[in-house]
Chain A
Amino acid sequence: MAQYKRLFPTAQEFGRWIPGLLACIAFAVVAMNIESLVSSLAKESGGFWKVLKQSGFASYVIILLLGGMLIRNTLGIPEVLRDGVNIARPIIKPGIILLGAHYMWGDVVKATGPAFLMVVAFVFGTALLVMVLGRRFGVPDSLAGIMGAGVGICGVSAIIAMSPVVRARPRDLFYAIATILLFGTVMLFTLPFIGRALGMTQPMFGAWVATAILNTAQLTAAAALYDSWFTGNAALLSATIVNIVRVVFIPIIVLFGIWYYIIRPAGGKAEKVDVWKVISEKFPVFVLGFFAIVLLNTFGVFGTAEQLGKRSPMATLLGKDIMKWYFAIGFAGIGLNIDIEQMKKAGGTAFAIGVVAALFKAGISLLVILALGPDFWARMVASG
């Protein structure tokens, strides 16, 4: 992740982003055209093109991720494109905000029930499991704390939020982030195929992937890939709701970390914690944008749908057509930032504990999602 000393970029920084951003936009256009070309050929000629389409490897998501990874690790990224390619990855976030145009407030209230269930039971439970296992196997608190937050809540963001609490060393941060990204990359390319083999509906898969994958960008990509095999974007909608609830928990896991690592061992003699400061500093503010869009849609700012159960044309434009471009540019950024050499450096006991806990969470959450059945998860998808 790029790191900055100032909140707002300078004109010079903007200038440095342009070449890489343009390259990501061009890559996204190429990938989307390959997808639509294969789709047309599959309809017209069938045969090989139909098999290729059904395999999922002609999806723009896979082309951008695998293609990007291939380019990065064979040809490399020229220096002039580096800054823009780095800044392309978070362009997924405005896409997530615009996805709010799919929802009415009532839909969000209805969907957050199952999302809450997943987050509290699995995400919070896994964080606790890693912290306790870390203590049991002698992993330093500095590493177990950030791994617990990362594996449980929301990958890189939670690792970063927890790091000052446990006084994580830069090396710990590096190990934890590398582990989360390596795990997410492997899951991103495998879970959609497992979901399809198990015949999961799109909302079921979305809920699963948002519990099992630990990074917002990667789980968004996995859900988009799954949706590309069906019609509509129900996996993306379901994954987004679970993910939104999950990232809202970041400040809570940080407060939990303060209690677990600082207040509890000190037996009440620790310094007083400024809870409001923790919440305001760690809260992922982009989530507010998502809720603002849901409210605007609920108040009819984006027009009304012609039919019950459909979206208005403006909500479709924002929450589907424009959103898809933001996602595509972001996926190009993710693919072009997957550096295999960096990932090889993940390892050690923390890696083993993190991966075991993450696999455990993925397995158990899959069983729960399958047991609750498709009707339960269908409510995750908006009706208006």
Chain B
Amino acid sequence: MSENNELEAKDREIFMSERREDIGALIVAAITILVVLLLVAAGYPPEKLSEIVRAPAHILG
């Protein structure tokens, strides 16, 4: 493989890594919001959900 082709392949790989992280972050955030909105619509108050989310951090104290 020529040096140019090697560089282009490397660049493409790096671009994929960055894009994958960004798109993954968008998907995770969107799923999080959707789940929260569905739970709230199903009657769980956000304050109660906050308590549930905080609970694992306070097992010891």
Contact = CB atoms under 8 A, between A and B. Distances in A.
A285 interface: yes
B19 A7 contact: yes
A39 B61 contact: yes
Interface stretch (A77-85, A88-96, A223-231): A88-96
A320 B55 CA distance: 14
A98 B37 CA distance: 14
Contact of B59 (A2, A33, A39): A33
A258 interface: no
A281 B8 CA distance: 14
B47 A313 contact: yes
Interface string B1-25: 0000001101111111111111111
Interface stretch (A67-75, A157-165, A341-349, A351-359): A157-165
Interface size class on chain A is 35 or more
Nearest to B10: A170
A35 B57 CA distance: 9
Interface string A313-328: 1101110011011100
B53 interface: yes
Interface in A1-51: 1-9, 29, 32-41
B41 to A, nearest CB: 11
A293 interface: yes
Given A90-B25, A318-B36, 20 more contacts: A1-B14, A3-B13, A3-B16, A4-B13, A32-B57, A37-B60, A38-B61, A94-B28, A160-B18, A285-B22, A285-B26, A289-B25, A289-B30, A301-B37, A314-B36, A314-B46, A316-B50, A317-B46, A321-B54, A322-B32
24 contacts: A5-B12, A5-B16, A7-B19, A8-B20, A32-B58, A33-B56, A33-B57, A33-B59, A34-B60, A35-B57, A91-B28, A93-B24, A94-B26, A97-B25, A157-B18, A167-B7, A170-B10, A285-B22, A286-B25, A293-B33, A312-B46, A317-B49, A321-B53, A324-B57
Interface of A: 1-9, 29, 32-41, 60, 90-91, 93-94, 96-98, 157, 160-161, 163-164, 167, 170, 281, 284-286, 288-289, 293, 296, 301, 303, 312-314, 316-318, 321-322, 324-326
Interface of B: 7-8, 10-26, 28-30, 32-33, 36-37, 40, 45-47, 49-50, 53-54, 56-61
